[in-house]
Structure 1
Amino acid sequence: MRFLHTSDWHLGRSFHRVSLLDAQRAFLDHLVATAAAERVDAVLVAGDVYDRAVPPLSAVELFDGALHRLAELGVPTVMISGNHDSARRLGVGAGLMGRAGIHLRTDPATCDRPVLLADEYGDVAVYGLPYLEPALVRQEFGAERADHAAVLGAAMDRVRADLAARPAGTRSVVLAHAFVTGGQPSASERDITAGGVQAVPAAVFDAVHYAALGHLHGCQTVSERIRYSGSPLAYSFSEEHHRKSMWLVTLGPAGEVAAERLDTPVPRPLARLRGRLDDLLGDPALDRHTGAWVEATLTDPDRPHEPMAALAERFPHILSLAFEPDPGAGNPAASYARRLRGRTDRQIAEDFVAHVRGRAPDPGERAVLEQAFDAVRAETARTEGD
């Protein structure tokens, strides 16, 4: 059985205020054409269909058109909600859509009710686990802790129990939206930390033949049977070196997995340039970036006059400009933004407490900070889902 595994469409998202609507339309055209050309048995979409809980109408129209075309091809589609989606909104009409072969899985309580597909070797049970916000679903699953590993583990226990009750030889596929240990994040994923911990162990997917993951935007292989497709488009300059693609997965008669990467259309390459203004303007080696979306970081000791206008003459598609004077040129301290880069909200809060009070928070105080951030995330998820 052949699957096309994709995720993290983020329909409605822009790139530094540049609309990606045409690029997203080109990707969906490519997806439908690939599904037809490769004669896949199903399309798997592992969450973050939209970029926000209430997407713009243009994004909804793109989504609607893609589903109609997949349904017309007769290609079943299994899709879960991600942490950017409103599960309730995405799941509206799921029952009716299911009759057309579009299977939306947005309710955590139904994670152990698979979409059953069949080929000449028997059944394949496809389970959709929507994004599980720990504080909101802990009671549903009776999890011991309100963290990602506990709730996803409890959900997978339900999946394994259902699978054990099915005929011997039933193959299994799971869609999930999570940060699995070993995955490499980028700057464009929303933080899903809960209880100070966001990663879950790959072992949580034991006993299933293939786990189609979403959330991380770089295509990557956690193991031969656990993979991220990554986002089809770049959504931050941190994805400069990503090769955007989908997985074409073949599930053999005994559940063996073979996977091939299929590239997706690239609207424009990305380039991150760093140096003094005169060097960026004069270096002939940078000519290859004139057609790219450019992020420039200037290291001049003094801010040049109208640098954006000068850079735009050479790089017409420059989108971002930052200033980080070289510390060796008379600037002993890095910028505040640079000091915070790569740190979580909780770490920033702990640093602030230490700065104001003169000592770092103790374990009890760190636990209070974690609980406060978890409560904010849970409330945000709850209100976005309403």
Structure 2
Amino acid sequence: MRIWHTSDWHVGRTFHGHATLEPLEGVLREMAETVRALEVDVVVVAGDVYDSSTPSADAIGVFNRSLRRLREAGPQVVLTAGNHDSPTRLGSMSDFVSASGVHVITRPEQVTVPVTLHDDHGPVHVYGIPFLEPARLRHVWEADPMRTQAHAVDEAMRLVRADLAERGGRSVVLAHTFVAGAEGESCESERAIVDSPTVGGVDRVPVTGFDGVTYAALGHIHGRSVLAEHVRYSGAPLHLSFSEEAKPRGGWLVDLDADGLADVTWVDLGVPRPLVTLTGTLQELLEAPEHGAHTAAWVRARLTDPLRQRDAMRRLQSRFPHCAQLDYVALAAPVGGDRAYRELVHGKSDLEVVDTFLGRVRGTGLDTDEREIVDDVLAHSGAELP
């Protein structure tokens, strides 16, 4: 059996205020063409289908068309809810779309009801573990304790293994959670997955929690990651933040044989608009010939000018129309540090007050030319500064 592992579509997401529906639909269209060419049997989507629990009509349209293209390409589709999704809204379609080969798993009660598919070697049971909120599970499962994501996923996997022991055969688990070892692949675009009490502030599920299954298709981390041969994140199909610019986009092609996991291969998908971070002074970014190759990219500009530049974003966008983020990385520290401004100017002359003020707001005081101008203004004003 051949499986395509994807996750974190985040349909409806914006990128620094820019809509992403059109480029995402293009990538998902390419995904459908790819799974058709590779003769994929089942596509698994491990959560965060939408970016919001209340998706717009346009987002729903993109999602529905993308599902239809995947089914027309041949494979069955199994998807679960992530922490961005509304289990109720996403799950409302499950009863009737399953007849068309799209299987939606959004409730913890469905954990032990796999989608069972068959190939020449027998059954493959596809289990879905949607995003689990421990506080809402205490009346569903009797496990104790039930305070963290780790506790919830551990109980879900215990139930999966018990069910699998009775059914027999190979198994695939979809889970939307944060697994220990994926920290290095975490991105700025991910929302904290839980608010429950955790050790060190981060609620991680151990990799060993997925022992006993043939393959674990994970979602939540937006960069691909291999935590064990059979435990992987696919990442999002579209770049969602500049922290992901070096991370490839695509999906895992998972092959199962009679003995279990036969092979896992990464397959790239196209990037509609590449991301690039450019560092230098404003003048360098505007004039350096080598930056001409990035005029069509999403650009994050990291300016090294010691002072803020006038109309910097507008000027950058005259060369880089898709410049979306501007950071200053070399601004001097405010003069006086954390000392109160009143303390800094106490007993100083008017010229010294101006010098201190500029040092406070821009990191450097008056230069020689500025000092002469201010000194001249003060000399002719005939007024004292308050």
Q: Tell me the TM-score normalised to structure 1 length.
A: 0.82
Q: Determine the C-alpha separation between the residues in 1 that align with 2:336 and 2:248.
A: 37
Q: Is the 8 A contact 1:225 1:257 kept in 2?
A: no
Give the equivalent residue in structure 1 for 2:197: 195
1:258 has 2:263 as partner:
yes
1:34 has 2:34 as partner:
yes
Q: Is the 8 A contact 2:36 2:74 kept in 1?
A: no
1:237-281 CA-to-partner distances (Å, cap 9, x unmatched) read 111101111111101211124111111121111112233222322
Q: Is the 8 A contact 1:219 1:243 kept in 2?
A: yes
CA apart distance, 1:33: 1.1
Higher radius of gyration, 1 or 2: 2
Give the equivalent residue in structure 2 for 1:111: 111
Relative distance call for 1:283 and 1:124 in structure 2 (3 A) is same
Q: Determine the C-alpha separation between the residues in 1 that align with 2:327 and 2:53.
A: 30
* Paired letter, 2:103: H
Give the equivalent residue in structure 2 for 1:296: 301
Q: Is the 8 A contact 2:33 2:73 kept in 1?
A: no
Q: Is the 8 A contact 2:224 2:247 kept in 1?
A: yes
CA apart distance, 1:69: 2.9
Q: Is the 8 A contact 1:141 1:151 kept in 2?
A: no
Q: Tell me the TM-score normalised to structure 2 length.
A: 0.82
Give the equivalent residue in structure 2 for 1:182: 181
Give the equivalent residue in structure 2 for 1:240: 245
- Correspondent of 1:249 among 243, 251, 254: 254
Query: Unaligned 5+ residue runs, structure 1?
Result: 335-386
Q: Determine the C-alpha separation between the residues in 2 that align with 1:139 and 1:271.
A: 48
Q: Determine the C-alpha separation between the residues in 2 that align with 1:272 and 1:70.
A: 34
Give the equivalent residue in structure 2 for 1:164: 165
How is 1:1-386 mapped onto 2 (pairs within 5 angstroms)?
Answer: 1-143=1-143, 144-167=145-168, 170-183=169-182, 184-193=185-194, 194-196=196-198, 197-327=202-332
Equivalent pairs, count: 331
Which secondary structure state, in structure 1, belongs to the residue aligned with residue 167 of structure 2?
Answer: coil
* Paired letter, 1:181: A
Q: Which stretches of structure 1, 4 residues or longer, exceed 4 Å deviation after superposition? A: 329-334
Give the equivalent residue in structure 2 for 1:344: none
Which secondary structure state, in structure 2, belongs to the residue aligned with residue 181 of structure 1?
Answer: coil
* Paired letter, 2:9: W
Q: Is the 8 A contact 1:82 1:131 kept in 2?
A: yes
Which secondary structure state, in structure 2, belongs to the residue aligned with residue 310 of structure 1?
Answer: helix
Relative distance call for 1:319 and 1:332 in structure 2 (3 A) is farther
Relative distance call for 1:283 and 1:322 in structure 2 (3 A) is same
1:205-240 CA-to-partner distances (Å, cap 9, x unmatched) read 010010000100001111110111100000011111
| Cα RMSD (Å) | 1.8
Percent sequence identity over matched residues? 45
Which secondary structure state, in structure 1, belongs to the residue aligned with residue 95 of structure 2?
Answer: helix
CA apart distance, 1:74: 4.2
Which secondary structure state, in structure 1, belongs to the residue aligned with residue 157 of structure 2?
Answer: helix
CA apart distance, 1:330: 6.8
Q: Determine the C-alpha separation between the residues in 2 that align with 1:91 and 1:60.
A: 14
Query: Unaligned 5+ residue runs, structure 2?
Result: 339-386
Q: Is the 8 A contact 1:141 1:155 kept in 2?
A: no
* Paired letter, 1:66: S
Q: Determine the C-alpha separation between the residues in 1 that align with 2:15 and 2:228.
A: 31
Q: Determine the C-alpha separation between the residues in 1 that align with 2:138 and 2:279.
A: 46
Q: Determine the C-alpha separation between the residues in 1 that align with 2:318 and 2:254.
A: 45
Relative distance call for 1:55 and 1:333 in structure 2 (3 A) is farther
Q: Determine the C-alpha separation between the residues in 2 that align with 1:9 and 1:331.
A: 46
Moved more, 85-94 or 137-146: 137-146
Which secondary structure state, in structure 2, belongs to the residue aligned with residue 311 of structure 1?
Answer: helix
Q: Determine the C-alpha separation between the residues in 2 that align with 1:333 and 1:81.
A: 47
Moved more, 28-37 or 41-50: 28-37
Q: Determine the C-alpha separation between the residues in 1 that align with 2:336 and 2:289.
A: 31
Relative distance call for 1:276 and 1:69 in structure 2 (3 A) is closer
Moved more, 121-130 or 140-149: 140-149
Q: Determine the C-alpha separation between the residues in 1 that align with 2:101 and 2:73.
A: 10
Q: Determine the C-alpha separation between the residues in 2 that align with 1:30 and 1:332.
A: 56
1:92-144 CA-to-partner distances (Å, cap 9, x unmatched) read 02111111111000011110110001111111110001011222224422331
Relative distance call for 1:189 and 1:331 in structure 2 (3 A) is farther
